[in-house]
Amino acid sequence: MSGIQAVSDCSLDDLWQTLSCAGLNGVQVLRLDRHNALAPGNKAFKLAPIIAAAKAAGHRRLLSFGGPWSNHLHALAATGAVEGLDTVGFVRGLESASPTPALRDASGWGMQLVGLDRTCYRRRAEPSFQRQLLSRYGPGLLIPEGGDCPEGAGGCRQIGEAIARATPQGATIVIPVGTGTTLAGVLAPLGHCHRVIGVSALKGALDTPQRIHRNLAALAIEPRVHWDLLQDFHCGGFARVNAELRQLLLDRELAGALPLEPVYTGKAVLALQTLLRNGVIAGDRPVVLVHTGGLQGRRGYPWLEPGPGYQ
Ligand SMILES: *Cc1c(COP(=O)(O)O)cnc(C)c1O
């Protein structure tokens, strides 16, 4: 992925795919990985209102945090380039000797990369530390890691609205979760006939439900939909892979139908297969899987082919 491509926004209603393999017969996938060529996946939805607010406030520069494979920084760099805004990425433990392909893309799109050692990185939410960063690398808008803020969650309502349009009679919806910002937005437009199951990509992130409640409260959303968060499909921890997940990702039939990555959607598919097999999700009502993108991150796993569109 080099150079700036035109942003090809297509309607979410055109992104549905029905699966017929790997124990997932009839599952309807909302392919956010196919939305917006330059910044595919859920991150563009979180960033859109944040960037609109930044522009309205007269900011010319956007700064944020992420790891060396961050989909968030990748999307921020791409979007900033298209919008003509400067971007700065504070990267956890960046060793400038070998930037990842994700960071190479980001710097190719003009993002200034600043390495923070792990001790500094842990301070990313502290106001005093943020003031220091802004005085050195600003002025601009400092966006929380992962776009985790009420504006970011609000941008994900659109995803829930598309699901509600496609499944007016209700559905069980499975969605990968990191911070839970996306999940919070998705819940907003759904009603009693829907059920949402979030699958956490993190191990032991016990505060995730709290974060979701905080974003919902800030947006004054009282979800009518029943939702749960599964914490048992992390496969060893964030970005870790166990034998079961590896096997799923190497399944040729599934890979031919649906490109996946190990960090988020692969784990959600593993959970979905398990829940269908155990009858926890009944196959007699619609089942929706939200593919949240992140395919650029496949490049971090040498045993996987790079994702479509990436070298
Ligand atoms: C960031 C990300 C998520 C998690 O989104 P949250 O809003 O943090 O829960 C899920 N899937 C992919 C591919 C992501 O990049």
Q: Which helix (H) or strand (E) holds 176?
A: strand 171-177
Which residue CA neighbors atom 4 of ligand 1 most closely? 178
Q: Residue 259: CB partners within 8 Å, gap ≥ 6?
A: 33, 295, 298, 307, 308
**pLDDT digit string, tens, across residues 188-203:** 999 999 999 999 999 9
Strand order in the sheet with 86-92: 112-116, 86-92, 61-66, 141-143
Which of the residue ranges 91-95, 172-176, 305-309 has the most confident prediction, judged by mean pLDDT?
172-176
Rounded distance between C-alpha atoms, residue 289 and residue 16, angstroms: 10
**pLDDT digit string, tens, across residues 216-249:** 999 999 999 999 999 999 999 999 999 999 999 9
Once rounded to an integer, what is the mean pLDDT over residues 5-17?
A: 76
**Tokens of residue 253, six digits:** 């039939």
Once rounded to an integer, what is the mean pLDDT over residues 132-145?
A: 98
Compute, in angstroms, the gap from residue 290 CA to the centroid of ligand 1. 11
Compute, in angstroms, the gap from residue 152 CA to the centroid of ligand 1. 12
Using the atom order of ligand 1, give the atom closest to the CA of residue 175: 10
- Compute the residue count for the chain: 311
Compute, in angstroms, the gap from residue 147 CA to the centroid of ligand 1. 9
- With a 6 Å cutoff on the Cβ, whether 152 touches ligand 1 is no
- With a 6 Å cutoff on the Cβ, whether 182 touches ligand 1 is yes
* Best residue for ligand 1 mutational test, from 179, 265, 267, 269 (most atoms within 8 Å of Cβ): 179
- With a 6 Å cutoff on the Cβ, whether 215 touches ligand 1 is no
Which residue CA neighbors atom 13 of ligand 1 most closely? 294
User: What value does the mean pLDDT of the chain take?
Assistant: 94
Residue whose C-alpha is closest to residue 107's, from 125, 80, 146, 134:
80
Rounded distance between C-alpha atoms, residue 152 and residue 146, angstroms: 9
